[in-house]
Amino acid sequence: MAGKIKQIIDVIISQRSKGNPAVTQALKAKFALKGINPDGYSAASADDQAVIGKLTMLAKDLGVSL
C-alpha cells in the first residue's frame, strides 16, 4: 500500500492551517524539525508503519483528529 503518509500529513496541515499559506509553511517547518520532511512524501510513498505511528502521535500532539 502507498500514499497513507502523505494523506495524513495533508490532513494535519489542512486542519491546523485552515488553508492559510503562512501557517502551512510554519507547520511544514515544524514537521521537518520534528524529523518528518513533509515534502519528502508523495502519493506513491510506501506506507511505512514507523512513520505512520510518528504522524499519529504528532496529530494527537497538535490536537488534530485523523
Partner 1 sequence: MKTAYSEKNSVDNIVKDIKDSFEGSDAKAVMFFASSSFDPQAVGRQMQEAFPEASVFGCTTAGEIVSGKMLKKSVVAMAFGPEVLESVKVVTINDLNANNAVENAMSEFEAFYKEPVMAMDHERYVGIILVDGLSMAEERVMDRIGDLTNVTFIGGSAGDDLQFKTTHVFADGKACTNAAVLALFKPKNGFDIIKTQSFSATDKLLKATEVNEDGREVLQFNGKPAAVAYAEARGVSVEDAAGSFMSNPVGLMIGGEPYVRSPQQIKDGGMVFYCKVKEGMELSVLESTDIVKDTRLAVEAKKLELGGISGISGIINFHCILRTLELEGKGQTEEYGSIFADIPTIGFSTYGEQYIGHVNQTSTMLVFKGSK
* Rounded Cα–Cα distance for residues 23 and 13 (Å): 9
Applying CB under 8 A, does 35 fall inside the site for partner 1? Answer: yes
Answer whether 2's CB lies under 8 Å from 46's CB.
yes
**Least CB distance from residue 63 to partner 1, whole Å?**
7
Binding residues for partner 1 restricted to 2-31, rule: CB under 8 A: 16-17, 20, 22-23, 25-26, 28-30
**Nearer to partner 1 among residue 6 and residue 30 (C-beta):** 30
Count of residues in contact with partner 1, rule CB under 8 A: 18
Rg (alpha carbons) of the chain, rounded to whole number = 11
**In the block, which residue shows the cell 506513491?**
44
